[in-house]
Amino acid sequence: VEGAIGIRVHDSPAEVAHAAAEVFADCARAAVKARGVFRVALSGGRTPKALYHILASPAYRDLPWSEMDFFWGDERCVPATHNESNFRSADANLLKRVPVIRDRIYAVPGCGDAQAIATTYEKTLRRVFAGDSFPRFDLNILGLGQDGHTASLFPHGKSIAEKERWVVASYAPEGVVRSRITLTVPAINSARRIVFLITGGNKSERLRELLEEDFPPEKMPARAIAPVEGECTILCDKAAAARLSST
Ligand code: 6PG
């Protein structure tokens, strides 16, 4: 995994968010220039909020917002208005503040059985990414959970082993909303660009393990992430990098 992952250590979470905004902007401009569309899978959790606020600022108003398709790498099985909804977080902090085309926001359906939601979302992805063996996102933004999960691929969960499906149901071992859906490992690894946003001292041991321990994906799902044809970069702050031997 280490060979496939680059790492950039920044002084603060704010600088990580600014660096992530620049990656987002570069990927968006390149994708629209090359293919007329930028397809991005957004992450949930707290870390991306600082990125969303920066992208919503005037500095990024000239991005090709109307040429972008928005997806989620994982979602909690709750209505879009629910406080725990990853859609709601991205919509409130970014999408409502920039000139996107609302029909090009592919939110995960919010209600019902997780398996049914996963099947429905996979159908949507297969329609948009028609012809791809796995969805070729231009950018997939990921976080790292304190237990080593990423998206909603949790340690010792069945979802990690899934090699055919693009989207599956999963079950969070803790948290307010346990019932989730998630992109599978191959559906994440098909991206052109993957960026992990990792900040805070509470992630330092996990980040050390991600880069310096040979844990199997069952124990640390984030170790399964390595783009097949693409680039993966960790954007982290000094606090998260504190235990790394190589920086
Ligand atoms: C989710 C996220 C999840 C998140 C990590 C890190 O739905 O919760 O997609 O994978 O990225 O849990 O979360 P923080 O950014 O809040 O630390």
- Region 171-185 average pLDDT: 96
Element (H, E) at 33: helix 13-35
- Quick one: pLDDT band at residue 2, thresholds 50, 70, 90? very low
What is the tens place of the pLDDT at every residue in 179-221? Answer: 999 999 999 999 999 999 999 999 999 999 999 999 999 999 9
Cα(151) to centroid of ligand 1, in Å?
A: 7
The answer on pLDDT for 127 being more than 60 is yes
Question: Distance from CA of residue 105 to its chain's centroid?
Answer: 15
Asked if 188 contacts 168 with a C-beta cutoff of 8 angstroms, the reply is no
Ligand 1: which atom is nearest the Cα of residue 86? 7
The answer on pLDDT for 4 being more than 80 is no
Q: What is the pLDDT of residue 1?
A: 44
For 209, the token pair is 């393990």
Ligand 1: which atom is nearest the Cα of residue 48? 15
Give the integer Cα–Cα distance in Å for 155 and 137: 24
The answer on pLDDT for 135 being more than 70 is yes
- Quick one: pLDDT band at residue 110, thresholds 50, 70, 90? confident
Give the residues surrounding ligand 1 with Cβ less than 6 Å away.
43-47, 74, 86, 143-145, 149-152
What is the tens place of the pLDDT at every residue in 43-56? Answer: 999 999 999 999 99
Residues linked to residue 140 through DSSP beta bridges, in sequence order: 41, 194
Cα(234) to centroid of ligand 1, in Å?
A: 15
Q: Residue with the nearest Cα to atom 11 of ligand 1?
A: 143
Q: What is the pLDDT of residue 112?
A: 82
For 193, the token pair is 């660009």
Burial tier of 60 (Cβ tally within 10 Å: 0-12, 13-18, 19+): middle
What is the tens place of the pLDDT at every residue in 68-89? Answer: 999 999 999 999 999 999 999 9
- Region 148-157 average pLDDT: 97
Of residues 4 and 130, the one with the higher pLDDT is 130
Q: What is the pLDDT of residue 86?
A: 97
